[in-house]
Amino acid sequence: MAAFFNSVRSGFGRQDKKQQSRGNGQPAQSPTYPGSNSSIAPSVSPAPHSPGLHQAISHENMQSQPQDNQTRRPPFFFRDEYANLIVKGNFMTLAAKPVLVEEGEWLAHQVVEQYRLLDGMIQIVRTPDEKTGQPICNPDNCPTMSASGHTYTWLDNQKRPIKIPAAQYIQLVQKWIVGKISDPNLFPTDTSFQNPGTYASSGVSTPGSNTPIPAGPTSLNAPLSALAGREWIGKSSGFPENFETDIKSIYRQMMRCYAHIYHGHWLDPFWHINAYKELNTCFIHFVNVGKLFALIGDKEMEPMQPLIDLWMARGLLPAATTAQQASKAEPAQSSSMGPPLTS
């Protein structure tokens, strides 16, 4: 798992070489995991200092603090001092589409990369606890898939919404996403694709020329958009008409996974292994792409909105686009094994 964090750091181009410190003033240690070549980090590290609380909060009693304390101070991950990243610079440059790359190809690349980063975070919460031997995210600790008052339900075979443990929910989401990404009909890999319908005699050469004959207009009064046929993102690269809808559904599910990881597991394990900045870096890149290309609406970002607002105030995220504002009104799509519903 330590190798994953190294790949995250190198993937973003640069890392902060300054020695980072924990909340207790001790030097930070590199994230270490069972099975890695480096030594195992302490199983429990002191919780970050909280001026709003009289004493440090451990993982065991974090969720049982009096209500007045919780309302006085937001969760650690919503505070400015814990919103830092492992890299510096403008994340928008990582999300911006290169001029010569078709939009469908770029979005497909981004979705696959975002899932790779999220999968690394998920593997961390699946790490067995040294004391119990159970994964950190298990049915006892996380009986439902929830985040900040939001509970996400899965659809059973009869398309009825049911509450299931977060670990099971995330596993189903991953299986569903991998199935989508691996589907050559949705994510085509044939580079020889030529957009059907562009030419009347596609593949047929004319005498003395290797250029196919363009299709002629069917009506002189028809608009150019009608003559060209229906358009959608990725059409020219062979992506199907439902491509944009499906990648938005994929993004919606990844957002829910991030929300649960933050609200259920920020302190344990990410704070304890000093990996919360890596989590922040992956998440801000995810949100940046989602906002820039309107892949996710404000409603789905509600559980993490305070952190997103903090990054926006720093100028690290783009403002909402017109397309994104319109996406807020889009109804959630669902199927028996597809995107779950929100209850």
pLDDT in tens, 215-241: 333 334 444 444 356 899 999 889 999
The DSSP element (H or E) to which 161 belongs, if any, is strand 161-162
Instruction: Please say if the pLDDT value at position 69 is more than 50.
Output: no
To which residue do tokens 């909105």 refer? Answer: 305
Is 162 strand, coil or helix? strand
Q: Is position 109 annotated in a ligand binding site?
A: no
- CB-CB neighbours of 214 under 10 Å: 10
d(CA 287, CA 293): 10
Given the DSSP bridges, would you call strands 145-147 and 150-155 parallel, antiparallel or unpaired?
Answer: antiparallel
Tally of residues, the chain: 343
- Top pLDDT among 90 and 16 is at 90
Sketch the domain layout of the chain as residue ranges.
92-189+238-342
For residues 50-70, average pLDDT: 35
Predicted confidence band of residue 94 (pLDDT cuts 50, 70, 90): confident
Q: Is position 257 annotated in a ligand binding site?
A: no
* Residue 301: both structure tokens together: 């970002």
Q: Is position 137 annotated in a ligand binding site?
A: yes
- Top pLDDT among 20 and 167 is at 167
Percent of the chain with pLDDT over 70: 60
For residues 310-322, average pLDDT: 79
What is the CATH superfamily name and number for domain 92-189+238-342?
MOB kinase activator (1.20.140.30)
For the whole model, what pTM was predicted? 0.70
